[in-house]
Structure 1
């Protein structure tokens, strides 16, 4: 099977992973393009006998970790905002391990192969990421979700992470009203809402007035990962695992605080 045939089905998810690491569509996609170009130049570096998804992510992480700046801990002014220092403390390699297992659903063995580590090392990295993520500051969260049970699950999870839920909106109009009453520090938004309106449209309207990190929730992430239009940097796929929500929220807040 050709390199294109092996990698094409997995590219939307690699792009999601890349954007979670870099914090944006443009920068994440640039890394993915570089990796694909490297594979085209050296196709023997892709083991076609192995799981193509593992091989693709392995190639990406090999390239990512070859860039020195990606392995360095982010530094901030020691007399600056302590909340920023805590967010910057999520170190790069634990971040990769945590995202591979929690967001991309790789097993410990697959993650170890992708990162070139032992399973024991991967376990330590994931534990470290969990400890570092837990040190993040709390924020106010708006949930835009039309399914009551899912909204309740998200609300419970958000609260266990130490955040406050300022509102749960089921429609576009409810979401806009909610932010007029209280501007959140994070938005978790479904795409398709109860009245047929769009969570994406609601978020775009909010972003015209103020800046806020947004995590989108959808049962069909591939519909948003086409490369044909601006895409959300942070996606959670339904049905989701609690660790997935935790990982993606941490990344969204991480890049928001660093940008600020």
Structure 2
């Protein structure tokens, strides 16, 4: 099997991680594109002593730490001390290292040891970074959350996670029409949405209707991520696969609100 064939199944999920890091599909895809270009240009440099998925993310992390992109998507690689300053500034203002560690472990499912390899840290440092990120989640601004989910047990689980994080739940909608009506009645600060709803309506359409009225961060939670990770149309910045871990939902909520707060501050 060629290297390209080994990497292909992991690319949609690398794109998901890149979007979660940058808060933008276009910027995330720029980093993934640069990663693939680096692999094609120097296939002999691709890590041969680890799993292909780990090697892919390792290459991505190297690109992330050493390359910035201008508004047109053109790569602007910094050099020397300037390179280090730009990289550190970006990590501090966009996605701190603690959040990278949390996303890699909680959302992408890497072990602590694998994450340590990916971000050039020790296992103890990764555990401390994740703990810092979790503590930051608990300190962050509270918001009102609309849950769009037609499976009662999953909806209850999500509601518990949201409340445990200190947020409020404005309501639980099981259809597109219910979701839109509840959003209009009480504007949420965050939406958690399933794709397939009770009356065969679409959570995607519900979100489109809501976003047509006002801007709000959205996290899709679905058993069918391949329906959204096609690369053929705009994709959600935050996408969680069912069945999910509570830590994954916590990480996604934290990151979604992190970017929303950054936008408001800007």
- TM-score (ref. length: structure 2): 0.89
What is the alpha-carbon distance in structure 2 between the residues aligned to residue 70 and residue 183 of structure 1? 37
Q: Does 1:71 align with 2:75?
A: no
Name the CA distance, whole Å, in 2 between partners of 1:234 and 1:91: 14
Aligned-pair distance for 1:71? 2.6
Question: Aligned pair in 2 of structure 1 residues 6, 258: CA closer, same or farther (>3 Å)?
Answer: same
Which residue of the partner structure matches residue 70 of structure 2? none
- Give TM-score scaled by structure 1 length: 0.91
The whole-number CA distance in structure 2 between the counterparts of 1:259 and 1:123 is: 29
Equivalences for 1:23-172 in 2 at 5 Å?
A: 23-67=23-67, 68=84, 69-72=86-89, 92-172=96-176
- Contact 1:71–1:93, Cα closer than 8 Å, also in 2: no
Residue number in structure 2 paired with 1:21: 21
Could you report, residue by residue, the CA deviation over 1:125-155 in whole angstroms, capped at 9, with x for unpaired residues? 1111111222111000000000000000000
Matched position secondary structure for 1:253: helix
Name segments (4+ residues, structure 1) moved above 6 Å.
none
Give yes or no for contact 2:137–2:165 (8 Å, CA) kept in 1. Answer: no
Aligned partners of 1:193 and 1:199 also within 8 Å: yes
1:249 aligned onto 2:266: no
- Superposition CA RMSD, Å: 1.5
User: Offset of 1:222 from its aligned partner?
Assistant: 2.2
Q: Secondary structure at the match of 1:208?
A: helix
Secondary structure in structure 2 of the residue aligned to 1:31? helix
Output the CA distance in 2 between the equivalents of 1:255 and 1:157: 20
Q: Deviations over 1:132-182 (max 9, x none)?
A: 222111000000000000000000110000000000000001001101210
Q: What is aligned with 1:84?
A: none
1:176-223: per-residue Cα shift (whole Å, max 9, x none)? Answer: 110121000000000000000000000001111100000001112122
1:240 aligns with 2:244: yes
Query: Shift of residue 73 of structure 1?
Result: 6.4
Q: Could you list the runs of 5+ residues in structure 2 that have no partner in the other structure?
A: 68-83
Separation in structure 2 between the aligned mates of residue 161 and residue 110 of structure 1, nearest angstrom? 27
Kindly state the Cα deviation for residue 47 of structure 1 after the two structures are TM-superposed.
Answer: 2.3
User: For the residues of structure 2 that align with 1:238 and 1:27, how far apart are their CA atoms?
Assistant: 26
Q: 1:182 aligns with which of 186, 191, 212?
A: 186
SS in 1 for 2:66: coil
Kindly tell me the number of residue pairs found equivalent between the two proteins.
247
SS of the aligned residue for 2:129 comes to helix
